[in-house]
Amino acid sequence: MIGKTKFEAILLALADLAEDYRENATIVMSYLDYISIIKDLSNGSTSLFGVQPEQVLGKPVVFIDAAKQPIVGDFSYSHFNYDIGILYERDKDVKTGIENFVLTAWFDHRIKLHSAFRIAEVSSGTPTV
């Protein structure tokens, strides 16, 4: 959903979810986005900086620095597959005598139900008439 601010975009994304998904919704966003929301909402006051993110946004929040845009949804419909092959490797540096061990693992991520998620976007341009 597209809003004028990140806060509005998150609220619109929550409102756009179907009722069943909205009950279990979680917000995934970067901490930098959250701080900018708090800064805008607090209007110079420090009272909102001590409040839990769930109290500000209305749903549980998970902070991930890699999040480019906030994602709102029921993450029980997101599946990570960790039951995969693991590659073990070992090597010895003959000059130093140090043994190096490498563990390589892959994982798979699948969205089971796309309609259970929304991306909260901020409108970047000026409105057209």
CB of 71 within 8 A of CB of 100?
Answer: no
Q: How many beta carbons lie within 10 A of that of residue 21, not counting itself?
A: 20
Please tell me whether residue 28 adopts helix, strand or coil conformation. strand
Residues whose CB falls within 8 Å of the CB of residue 62, separated by 6 or more in sequence, listed in order: 26, 27, 28, 29
Q: What is the pTM of this model?
A: 0.72
State how far the Cα of 11 lies from the Cα of 2, in Å rounded to an integer: 10
Q: Give the single-character DSSP code of 102.
A: E
Tokens 């991306």 appear where?
119
State how far the Cα of 6 lies from the Cα of 69, in Å rounded to an integer: 9
The tens place of each residue's pLDDT in the chain, 129 residues long, gives 788 999 999 999 999 999 989 999 999 999 999 999 998 888 767 777 888 999 999 999 999 999 999 999 999 898 877 666 778 889 888 899 899 988 887 777 788 888 899 999 988 765 544
Look at residue 126 in the predicted model and tell me its pLDDT. Answer: 54
State how far the Cα of 73 lies from the Cα of 20, in Å rounded to an integer: 11
